[in-house]
Amino acid sequence: MASEAIPLNAAPSATRPIGDRLHDWVVTVDHKKLGILYILYGLVFLVIAGMEALVIRIQLMRAHSDFVSPEVFNRMFTMHGTTMIFFVVMPVLFGFATYLVPLMIGARDMAFPRLNALSFWLMAFGGFLLYFSFLGGNGLYGAGNAPDVGWWAYAPLTARAFSPGHSSDYWTIALLISGFGSIGTAINIIATTLSMRCPGMTLGKMPLLAWLYLVMAGMVILAISPLTAAQLMLSVDRYLGGHFFDTQAGGSATLWMHFFWIFGHPEVYVLVIPAFAFTSEIIPVFSRKPIFGYPVMVAATLAIGFLSLSVWAHHMFTIGMSSYANSFFAITTMAVGVPTGIKIFNWLGTMWGGKIEFTTPMLFCVAFVFQLLIAGLTGIMLSAAPFNWQLSGSYFVVAHFHYMIVGGILFSIFAAFYYWYPKVTGRMLNETAGKLHFWLMLIGFHLTFDVMHIPGLLGMPRRIYTYEPSRGWETLNLIVTIGAFIQGIAVLIFVCNMIFSYSKGPKAGNDPWDAWTLEWSTTSPPPEYNFATLPVVKSRRPLWDLKHPEDPDWKYE
């Protein structure tokens, strides 16, 4: 198997002028460079959107606060939500996919390298366009600059009359363009996993990460496309005087809700399935056991993918649907909990009786499993339509979905960073700083999002810019804000760790974790062609077979 990189260029890249090296990054079609670009791009926006969250939290820290105006507050929560979903989590997850999937399936690149580059730059352009609205959104009307219609942009708020200027157009077109990028990457992931596997790697021997990304990509295709269609319709309304969502001319605001949530709910699973993927790779390695229930894991993922396409209207219980529709969407929503629960048991089963090493990635994964469970349980609570009528649009919902996105998805992304950073850079991240990051993040997370459920139950609506002191929400909101700042410090430690370890961290070697998948068989960082000779695999853990020729996996699979 490949171990040493053969230098292809006579001149080492470090001696070339900086302009040339930057040019290499712009014109690159290499899946590893594009993966890194995706991730760095997502991290930049993580810091931006994180600061927007802190502005929101400072404003809500006490009653009658005037830290920002109501208009700015609206922009902050709109930009925070839109940025976090489309320009932080999506690029980071796609970055890991483009970096890892070809390496893990023993390929030299994605199926369509140029499409890969196009998709990245489309998404990047979308993000820049969204943030350009701070400068260019005013239009001739002197209206507000950045989008302020909320991340789901319900009609008729987006109609010309209620959203003058260009801010909503920047939102629409940024999402449209980044959506084309997402669809391109999804097509690429599907074609890569199906058509680029190395000899011997049947679908049943593919690493779970590749399997889960395959399902995620399929869902991107089915979920992002409706959003693209809806954004086209909104553009027709705003630019050509169409009436799709114009209630004055018989159009329906509810139709926008349906179209948005047909995208919006599967999107949650688009984001969480890669989180499952990271966890399914990391927990076995640090439990020193193969994953428990591989086929069930794949089946559960497919079930989640299928079921999650039919749950969208649980976001719309309060608009007054028929009782049949309410029952249908409540039942399907509860049904999604079943395959998710199966996954949790599989991870527990993997850890059970294993020799667990609590390294930083493993700590994040363990926290992920428990926080995912709690987020899932509040999800089941909200899926009961009568309960939902009470709490829809309250901070309980905000706490629920942040529990999923921060406690679930972000924690597993951190785990993935600590786990694969050695492969990408050739250096280990500092373990002490990593543990500090983990514990601060954990404390901050629980202070913020455990407590946030309570003001929701006490009736605090989401998206209000301030509240009366007599409501009894003040102390709770103060605690939430303190937790948010602790998380901010934790992320700062993480960023410093990444920068510092890049040059000062201990050398990682090819396989620092004694892991079993193909990416660890090549050098760290991998050469441009990944593998000098294409690997041939016989089991799900090809490196185990290599390290233990006396007791290989393929005898038992």
Query: Do residues 298 and 208 touch, judged by C-beta distance below 8 A?
Result: yes
Contact between 191 and another protein per CB under 8 A: yes
Distant-in-sequence, close-in-space partners of 30: CB < 8 Å, separation ≥ 6: 109, 113, 528
Query: Do residues 539 and 552 touch, judged by C-beta distance below 8 A?
Result: yes
Cα gap 454→327, rounded to integer Å: 27
Contact between 187 and another protein per CB under 8 A: yes
Strand partners, 507: 427
Contact between 310 and another protein per CB under 8 A: no
Stretch that binds another protein, among 15-23, 45-53, 225-233, 294-302 (CB under 8 A): 225-233
Q: Which residues of 179-217 are buried (b: 16+ CB within 10 A; e: fewer)?
A: bbbbbbbbbbbbebbeebbbeebeeebbbbbbbbbbbbb
- Shortest separation between residue 267's beta carbon and another protein, angstroms: 14
Question: Hey, which residues between 483 and 502 contact another protein (CB under 8 A)?
Answer: none
Contact between 471 and another protein per CB under 8 A: no
Among 38, 45, 213, 259, indicate the residue that binds another protein (CB under 8 A).
259
Query: Do residues 368 and 407 touch, judged by C-beta distance below 8 A?
Result: yes
Q: x-or-dash pattern for another protein, window 112-131, by CB under 8 A?
A: x--x----------------
Contact between 40 and another protein per CB under 8 A: no
Distant-in-sequence, close-in-space partners of 287: CB < 8 Å, separation ≥ 6: 350, 351, 354, 355, 356
Query: Do residues 216 and 274 touch, judged by C-beta distance below 8 A?
Result: yes
Query: Do residues 429 and 497 touch, judged by C-beta distance below 8 A?
Result: yes
Closest CB to another protein among residues 94, 244: 244
Stretch that binds another protein, among 234-242, 329-337, 369-377, 413-421 (CB under 8 A): 234-242
Cα gap 277→283, rounded to integer Å: 10
3-state secondary structure of 286: helix
In one-letter notation, the amino acid at residue 488 is G
3-state secondary structure of 28: coil
- Shortest separation between residue 190's beta carbon and another protein, angstroms: 5
Stretch that binds another protein, among 248-256, 397-405, 451-459, 519-527 (CB under 8 A): 248-256
Stretch that binds another protein, among 160-168, 245-253, 431-439, 548-556 (CB under 8 A): 245-253
Contact between 214 and another protein per CB under 8 A: no
Among 176, 224, 291, 385, indicate the residue that binds another protein (CB under 8 A).
224
Contact between 1 and another protein per CB under 8 A: no
Contact between 156 and another protein per CB under 8 A: no
In one-letter notation, the amino acid at residue 485 is F
Q: x-or-dash pattern for another protein, window 530-549, by CB under 8 A?
A: ------x-------------
Distances (CA, A) of 173 to 126, 165, 199: 7, 14, 42
Positions in the binding site for another protein (CB under 8 A)? 111-112, 115, 183, 186-188, 190-192, 194-197, 199-200, 217, 221-222, 224-226, 228-230, 232-233, 236-237, 240-244, 249-252, 255, 259, 262, 536
